[in-house]
Structure 1
């Protein structure tokens, strides 16, 4: 078949050449000659081109038919090449669309390839000061790589990490497509979070501007909400809204996960983007004290930071294999000889209250909607470490990512 294709192409070209020569050599009348001088063989060339294209198209169809009749055998190199190019273009287009959807704004992407966390230092040396941490699958922009150290930037952290623990290039991009999660970035000063997707629903909590929250479900449907309400909502909560009005407005709402609780926010006040986790800063307290309680608090924070990136397990108490929020704070303090009750509400009752102006490293922050349902350990610099949810595990957040119900002191 390949031979016949080439032979036919040669015949077409030969016929075209002969026809062109005949028109050139044939003596025309003056009027005809003038016409040719104005449009020198344009019509002839176009006719030949169209004829060639028509024949080639017929040959291509014949090749495809021959391939079918031969039971799938190769019919034409030309057809196969065209098919391969088409598939490659489709794949490249798909990858471009995925990158746009991910909104990964990195000139040179790097992803932390570790089980727990990767230390970010202020210079390329293992003896250098730790200024931040990148948990598993955290993304960064690689500025340069020299002598085994990568200079990176991620979130508000800019420093150096061991290059061997970073995925780079195509490997990093493939990983990003798998691990990036949809986040809601609040673009108003304070946003009400509700139990159901309706402004008539009771407020669960309020969240802060510029904070990132994991989106559990972007597109809500009537069927989904009916199942969700039957399983998770009290009659009082369900009766607080006009269900038909709520169903009609579902496209303007999304479901978030906050401290393992499923809640709803209006899309009008958030920016939804696919994001990789960012590095977090490790800030030292400005006020240093030589008191034994201060030293002990610093030790508690240092110990807690060892478990950054470990898994969240509801009802769990293992700092390495999985714990929930109260299991985490209980486990940290028990290591230093302090007993805390098992639940976050009981821990709140067992600690003495302090104001936000008096907060110290080692204090516990308690959160919830009306009653305490979550607890975190204050590590200084306006940050907490806590067992957040099954997706994020033990992580660092702003202490005011939501309004605390109480700040409690153990020591």
Structure 2
């Protein structure tokens, strides 16, 4: 849709970016609906790098954030990734924009102002630039010590409250998927999961591990060409398609037994089991694999570093740190595989080597005293095979 402006008797297209607005409070839900060229309207304070990666992969034309993309709490990497990808980021436009814009409406973004189809101003924010981002990051770096203190306090509190679970593990429901003495690959749709899954193809092909997905990790596996065996989570970010591939479904419930995700499964006509447990769904997946007797637990996309724990932006990430300590003897992080090792022999080099070998063998046969005899034998063998093969279709 065009936004015509009349100037000197001519209809001219106004400046800026015109696109379809996609609106959602939750970025991880929104990315499932985005199409290339859309304008993503989000409400995401401290935009993390996982969400930014997803927005970039969707090839959005621009991002309009109702909240501050950098609050100063810690130096989050999401805004930097968007700027490096050349995606305009309009920051802190206010929560009212979410009610002013209908999902699917055509809008125009000109610098830091968002217009509707009638050229009325919908929102105005701050256009994020390298200079404004550098200033925000400088302030955010000063807040890191406070966040570390808070993280340490949350970790100790969780350790006191859930020491029995961390000591003895959790009681898992009965699953038909066998994990005893097998490798289990736990997949979270986190940072650089695509690269890690590509790097793990030889491992998956050779060891055939149990594929345990955490929520939208099931979609990550489908995207890579695999089918999950088990899906664990609160079922809020995984697609209907992934839920219906035949995997065993375990709904991570609140410690008091409430499991909102069960309602979604029933609505799809699917069966699942409820597993009440504290912590995150990522923690529960690791503890289930450990309790089911996995000999090795490889992880893709999980939270591993302090920066990632802070990036998640909630006190519950302390449980992930402690869960890693519990299953640490079995835990292998697959994140760096594609950086640690890449094959030095390309496909073209192998093809050239095979051609050179075939030419060498052909020359050896042609100039060898036994060449005519060997040539006749190859010819007879070929004709015998051709006669047998064509006979299959008669």
Question: Could you tell me the TM-score, scaled by structure 2's length?
Answer: 0.24
**Greater fraction strand:** 1
Higher CA-based Rg: 1
